[in-house]
């Protein structure tokens, strides 16, 4: 290149990453991300299927930061475990959920991460109205008791089994109720698609597009992260099964439109796809994502 094109410069710096295993430590996750061509990373702070967490003192932050610098992996996102349900009618489950969220927010602060992605849980058939106040209350309490430099990112769901926040107006409501700059959100393309939000320029089945809804609810500035996953299931199916990019039901042109839209084009992208070999996000999906995001080879 003979001269600087400011646009290509911004694009070249786009954060494109993946959820990878943190077995052996976060520094190992950073190595795994770099090995598939990612420049940012998402991890679990422990096993996603058990409540127990190891002491935060065990996190070797010096090793993490030097590995991050060596391999230029930034930012780091944390994903909470799948067991959380802050909307449950079981007080014990709500309390355990709040505790694990606090742990993850402390972890996020410790590793200078950019946020903790949470599936808030399910209303278990009781409906959003019945659980929204409790949900906001638990989030507020969690934020009040965690470091100021940590962020909680509400992830939209596909709406399966009463899961909260398939309707983005619920995310908006929680922002208005909690009123914290530390509360932000993460959009998952598979979940949005399965919840009936087209990712393209035109809505499907008479529904508004994801971009239209984001604009209407003024949610673009609060968006921190995009999970880019294709879907094994059809539009508005209310299911949540991720597919490798281009191998699922979401037309690549729709994904490309979404990822390059002005609301989205500067947001970090993280893959949570099964991978060609079935062992998680890989170099092939990173390459497909770069292409969809308009970054070329």
Name the minimum Å distance from CB 84 to Zn ion. 14
CB of 190 to Zn ion, least distance (A): 6
Give the shortest CB-199-to-Zn ion separation in angstroms. 14
Instruction: State which residue, 59 or 162, has the beta carbon closest to Zn ion.
Output: 162
Q: Which residues of 250-259 are buried (b: 16+ CB within 10 A; e: fewer)?
A: bbeebbbbbb
Q: Between residues 59 and 115, which has the closer beta carbon with respect to Zn ion?
A: 115
What is the nearest approach in angstroms of Zn ion to the Cβ of residue 148? 26
CB of 149 to Zn ion, least distance (A): 23
Q: How many CA atoms within 13 Å lie on the side-chain side of 18?
A: 30
Distance (Å) of CA 34 to CA 70, 117, 226, 283, 286: 10, 21, 19, 10, 11
Cβ proximity to Zn ion, 59 vs 248, nearer residue: 248
Instruction: Report the distance separating Cα 252 and Cα 188, nearest Å.
Output: 15
CA-to-CA distance for 146 and 202, rounded, in angstroms? Answer: 41
Q: Which is nearer to Zn ion, 79 or 182 (CB)?
A: 79
Query: For residues 110-119, b (16+ Cβ closer than 10 Å) or e, as one string?
Result: bbebbbbbbb
CB proximity list for 131: less than 8 A, separation 6 or greater:
87, 123, 164
Residues in the chain: 297
Between 59 and 226, CB nearer to Zn ion: 226
Comparison of 27 and 282: residue with beta carbon closer to Zn ion: 282
Alpha-carbon gap, residue 153 to 79, rounded angstroms: 9
Q: Which residues bind Zn ion (CB under 5 A)?
A: 188, 227, 240, 272
Evaluate whether 226 touches 187 at the Cβ level (below 8 Å): yes
**Minimum Å distance from CB 65 to Zn ion?**
26
Min dist. Cβ of residue 191 to Zn ion (A)? 6
Torsion of CA 31, 51, 228, 177, to 10 degrees: -130
Considering the complex, state which of residue 27 and residue 233 has its C-beta at the smaller distance from Zn ion: 233
């Amino acid at each position: 290149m003979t001269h600087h094109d400011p646009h290509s410069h911004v694009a070249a710096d786009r954060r494109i990453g993946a959820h990878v295993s943190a077995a052996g430590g976060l520094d190992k996750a950073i190595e795994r991300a770099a090995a598939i061509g990612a420049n940012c990373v998402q991890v679990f702070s422990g096993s996603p299927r058990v409540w127990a967490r190891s002491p935060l003192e065990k996190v070797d932050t010096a090793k993490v930061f030097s590995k991050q610098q060596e391999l230029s992996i930034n930012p780091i996102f944390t994903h909470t475990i799948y067991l959380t349900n802050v909307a449950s009618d079981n007080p014990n489950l709500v309390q355990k959920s709040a505790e694990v969220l606090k742990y993850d927010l402390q972890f996020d602060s410790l590793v200078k991460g950019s946020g903790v992605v949470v599936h808030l849980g399910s209303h278990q058939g009781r409906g959003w109205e019945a659980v929204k106040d409790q949900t906001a209350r638990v989030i507020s309490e969690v934020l009040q008791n965690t470091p100021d430099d940590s962020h909680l990112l509400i992830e939209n769901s596909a709406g399966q089994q009463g899961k909260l926040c398939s309707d983005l107006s619920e995310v908006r409501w929680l922002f208005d109720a909690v009123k914290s700059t530390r509360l932000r959100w993460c959009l998952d393309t598979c979940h949005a698609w399965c919840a009936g939000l087209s990712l393209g320029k035109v809505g499907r089945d008479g529904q508004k597009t994801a971009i239209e809804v984001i604009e209407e609810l003024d949610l673009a500035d609060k968006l921190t992260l995009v999970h880019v996953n294709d879907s094994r299931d059809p539009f508005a199916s209310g299911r949540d099964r991720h597919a490798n990019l281009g191998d699922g039901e979401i037309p690549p042109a729709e994904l490309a439109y979404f990822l390059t839209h002005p609301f989205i084009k500067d947001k970090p992208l993280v893959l949570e796809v099964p991978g060609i070999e079935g062992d998680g996000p890989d170099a092939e999906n990173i390459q497909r994502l770069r292409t969809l995001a308009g970054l070329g080879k």
